[in-house]
Amino acid sequence: MKQAKEIEDAEKFNFMATVTKAPKKQIQFADDMQEFTKFPTKSGRRSLSRSISQSSTDSYSSDSSDDEEGTPREKHQTNSKGSSNFCVKNIKQAEFGRREIEIAEQDMSALISLRKRAQGEKPLAGAKIVGCTHITAQTAVLIETLCALGAQCRWSACNIYSTQNEVAAALAEAGVAVFSWKGESEDDFWWCIDRCVNMDGWQPNMILDDGGDLTHWVYKKYPNVFKKIRGIVEESVTGVHRLYQLSKAGKLCVPAMNVNDSVTKQKFDNLYCCRESILDGLKRTTDVMFGGKQVVVCGYGEVGKGCCAALKALGAIVYITEIDPICALQACMDGFRVVKLNEVIRQMDVVITCTGNKNVVTREHLDRMKNSCIVCNMGHSNTEIDVTSLRTPELTWERVRSQVDHIIWPDGKRVVLLAEGRLLNLSCSTVPTFVLSITATTQALALIELYNAPEGRYKQDVYLLPKKMDEYVASLHLPSFDAHLTELTDDQAKYMGLNKNGPFKPNYYRY
């Protein structure tokens, strides 16, 4: 028995010795082999970056055809009807994009219901709508709804990274003049907007904007066209701010609808959409675990509130920066510490901006961040993080995934920048379809209202959506939850001084 045990021990020793002497294996790439080191040399970093990702504009949902060299502007494409009045990445993806749109329609029942109710009347007949929004499956449902209601549409993207190429192809195949693809350059971005506006024999009379870039372009480049616009519908904080600036300067010569501050946009899209999509965007790009991570969220508006609620639920330690004492007090009452960014920047694992402002995170902040700090933006504009200051000779940019860059300092410190400081959720992931149905329905009704309003109802100013319309949008979505509203009795309505059919709250009410 003793001899058998000695043999067994010897075999174990021989096995361990063999394992110990086994040569170390290196990670092999397509063209060569490299070992990961803690801080690779500059040449090593560059070749590693190239081997991992050849393109800064890869799409999660695209196929290999998206990797073709050259801009779509250089290609001549036609749809099955022979039309070439569009510019997309690859028209051959149309069938795939159509399936994406059909899937989105299943969770946008309220917008589809509006389409069915109103398409007989064609309330947008004669409307020529030029749009600049994110081009996703959900937006496609909105665009096709507008077309079903009688409008002619020409569309471009408000973000160079958010377009779903296959969806753009499906819209082009259906006859919509769409000019957009994922990964546009800045020059491409403005070229696409201009192609939407500048077409012989076609002049827009309505604008649907997200961020104000389209409105700004028409105002600056085509002032005569701008004066003939019947109405502008804007859905973002940034775009609304620009409209109010025009109005204050006396330069807004058309009525505009501020959809961003409508209850159905602010309290649902801004809050609930961001509460879910912030995690989706961060997980897809970084695989980060949030438990115990220290996160600072710059801004505690509706977007900030949604982000903080999600992060806190996963165990992150969340700090808030704010300029508004009311929002700051709300953050304190919700259990968050309100700080100045300079006070905590060295300890943060994740920095998220959602203010709508500029230079919220500066080069000074970026220099003081610790190694592997993740930096991203949940606001519409790409001005919140000073990305331009990072494009200097002493810093190395390494693309490690689609929309994920490591910015490497001379001492080897890395900061993880997502989507080059652009909107994280729509650049790096997707957003919940149902909540976008609420926003899209609001936008459609705002366009119908402005287009059909009798002369004199709306002057050259910025307006909020009528309360009755907000309530109607909400009521269209309640059947999805099998929700049943309580009805006021005549006596109750008289006591409260309300119409039994609404509106149920005054315009100054804060939900």
**Per-residue model confidence as pLDDT tens digits over 161-175:** 999 999 999 999 999
**Per-residue model confidence as pLDDT tens digits over 237-291:** 889 999 999 999 999 999 999 999 999 888 898 899 999 999 999 999 999 999 9
Among 16-25, 95-104, 437-446, the minimum mean pLDDT is found in 16-25
Residue 426: predicted pLDDT: 86
Alpha-carbon distance 130 to 124, whole Å? 13
Distances from the Cα of 126 to the Cα of 24, 209, 230, 257, 457, angstroms: 71, 19, 12, 20, 20
Does the bond joining 503 to the residue before it have cis omega, within 30 degrees of 0? yes
State yes or no: pLDDT of 1 exceeds 70.
no
User: For the chain, where do the domains classified as CATH 3.40.50.1480 start and end?
Assistant: 74-261+431-473
Alpha-carbon distance 306 to 382, whole Å? 20
Residue 119: predicted pLDDT: 87
State yes or no: pLDDT of 22 exceeds 60.
no
Q: What is the DSSP string of 108-167?
A: -HHHHHHHHHHTTT-TTTT-EEEEEE--SHHHHHHHHHHHHTT-EEEEEESSTT---HHH
- Using an 8 Å Cβ cutoff, are 420 and 382 in contact? yes
The percent of residues above 90 in pLDDT, for the chain, comes to 78
Q: Which two tokens stand for residue 386?
A: 């000073």
Residue 382: predicted pLDDT: 87
**Per-residue model confidence as pLDDT tens digits over 402-423:** 999 999 999 999 999 999 999 9
CB-based contacts of 451: which residues, under 8 Å, 6+ apart? 123, 124, 127, 205, 206, 230, 231
State yes or no: pLDDT of 332 exceeds 90.
yes
Residues flagged as binding site for NAD(+): 301-306, 322, 425
Residue 510: predicted pLDDT: 82
Q: Residues in the chain, how many?
A: 511
The fold adopted by the segment(s) 271-422 is Rossmann fold (3.40.50)
Residue 492: predicted pLDDT: 95
Helix H or strand E segment including 398: strand 396-401
State yes or no: pLDDT of 496 exceeds 90.
yes
- Using an 8 Å Cβ cutoff, are 403 and 418 in contact? yes
The percent of residues above 70 in pLDDT, for the chain, comes to 86
**Per-residue model confidence as pLDDT tens digits over 283-322:** 999 999 999 999 999 999 999 999 999 999 999 999 999 9
Mean pLDDT of the chain: 87
State yes or no: pLDDT of 223 exceeds 60.
yes
Residues flagged as binding site for substrate: 136, 210, 235, 265, 269
- For 423, list phi and psi in degrees, rounded to 5: -55, 115
pLDDT band (50, 70, 90) for residue 27: very low
**Per-residue model confidence as pLDDT tens digits over 461-491:** 999 988 899 999 999 999 999 999 999 999 9
User: For the chain, where do the domains classified as CATH 3.40.50.720 start and end?
Assistant: 271-422
Residues flagged as binding site: 136, 210, 235, 265, 269, 301-306, 322, 425
Give residue 506's Cα distance to chain centre: 31
Residue 69: predicted pLDDT: 59
Residue 135: predicted pLDDT: 96
Alpha-carbon distance 148 to 457, whole Å? 26
State yes or no: pLDDT of 401 exceeds 80.
yes
- Using an 8 Å Cβ cutoff, are 415 and 369 in contact? yes
Q: Which residues of 247-267 are buried (b: 16+ CB within 10 A; e: fewer)?
A: eeeeebebbbbbbbebbbbbe
More confident residue, 354 or 31: 354
Q: Please tell me the pTM assigned to this model.
A: 0.81
State yes or no: pLDDT of 28 exceeds 70.
no
pLDDT band (50, 70, 90) for residue 507: confident
The fold adopted by the segment(s) 74-261+431-473 is Rossmann fold (3.40.50)
More confident residue, 211 or 37: 211
